[in-house]
């Protein structure tokens, strides 16, 4: 039963990343917390491994289709490393309940960003912003990755569009590379926590994630990006609300 659940969770994570270029951790972290019983530090660490593998796999078909800009991805990742280091330090010193509630808040913010991104996609070419936006978003994404185990694609995609003027499909593919690099970096900063995790279940989730990302990235052309993003935004809000309620009930009991 656990094997099937882990594989299904992985498939969902990979499919979300492959189709949208963001959002894998919002399935991974709650699953590790509530379905598989990991504590917040373990859950966010295991999430990094899953998201890194799924994002890297999902980037491969996009790369073949010319939907990845490696230069922009490497710049974004390198600028954000300092934020990843800060977040990886913070997760060791803040209470676990803060990590859970903070993650739920990030999920709600991701829902808003995803909805606004889909609205901009309907309105034509987005307005480009100044280069100052890149370091601000890159460092912020790094902090979120290190602290909450998220890849931050929901911020990376709009930033790539606004700073570089990339088409949404290219920004989504490039985001997968940034998410993979950010997740691997944060996972490396947490090397001393690896031994605290039983990796059988996360390993199965990784396998499912790789399969889901590969299939979804290959089939993304015929699906409405707007519908996907708005449906996913609604799911994020539901999950965020559930996590906050659960945390409040647990604290009160």
Contact 118, 226 (CB under 8 A): yes
> pTM for this structure?
0.77
Residues of the chain with pLDDT > 90, as a percent, come to 18
| 118-130: pLDDT as tens digits | 565 555 555 555 6
Average pLDDT, the chain: 80
pLDDT at residue 112 tops 80: no
> pLDDT category, 149, cuts 50, 70, 90?
confident
Smallest CA-to-CA distance from 42 within 22, 56, 26, 28 is with: 28
Contact 53, 210 (CB under 8 A): yes
The whole-number pLDDT of residue 223 equals 59
Domains of the chain by residue range:
2-252
pLDDT at residue 180 tops 80: yes
| 60-74: pLDDT as tens digits | 888 888 889 999 899
pLDDT at residue 38 tops 60: yes
CA atoms within 13 A on the CB side of 70: 5
Contact 17, 153 (CB under 8 A): yes
């Amino acid at each position: 039963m656990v094997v099937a659940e882990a594989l299904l969770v992985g498939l969902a994570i990979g499919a979300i990343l492959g189709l949208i270029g963001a959002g894998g951790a919002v399935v991974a972290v709650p699953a590790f917390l509530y379905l598989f019983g990991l504590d917040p530090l373990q859950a966010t660490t295991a999430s990094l491994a899953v998201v890194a593998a799924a994002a890297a796999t999902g980037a491969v078909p996009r790369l073949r289709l010319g939907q990845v800009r490696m230069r922009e991805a490497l710049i974004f990742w390198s600028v954000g490393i300092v934020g990843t280091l800060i977040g990886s330090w913070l997760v060791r010193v803040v209470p676990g309940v803060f990590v859970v509630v903070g993650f739920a808040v990030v999920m709600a913010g991701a829902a808003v960003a995803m909805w606004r991104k889909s609205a901009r996609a309907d309105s034509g070419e987005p307005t480009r912003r100044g280069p100052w936006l890149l370091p601000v978003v890159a460092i912020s994404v790094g902090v979120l990755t290190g602290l909450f185990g998220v890849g931050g694609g929901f911020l990376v995609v709009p930033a790539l569009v606004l700073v570089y003027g990339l088409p949404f499909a290219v920004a989504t593919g490039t985001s997968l590379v940034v998410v993979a690099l950010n997740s691997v970096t944060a996972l490396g900063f947490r090397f001393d926590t690896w031994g605290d995790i039983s990796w059988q279940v996360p390993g199965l989730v990784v396998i499912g994630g790789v399969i889901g990302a590969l299939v979804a990235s290959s089939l993304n052309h015929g699906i409405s990006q707007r519908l996907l993003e708005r449906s996913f935004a609604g799911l994020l809000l539901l999950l965020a609300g559930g996590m906050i309620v659960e945390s409040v009930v647990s604290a009160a009991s």
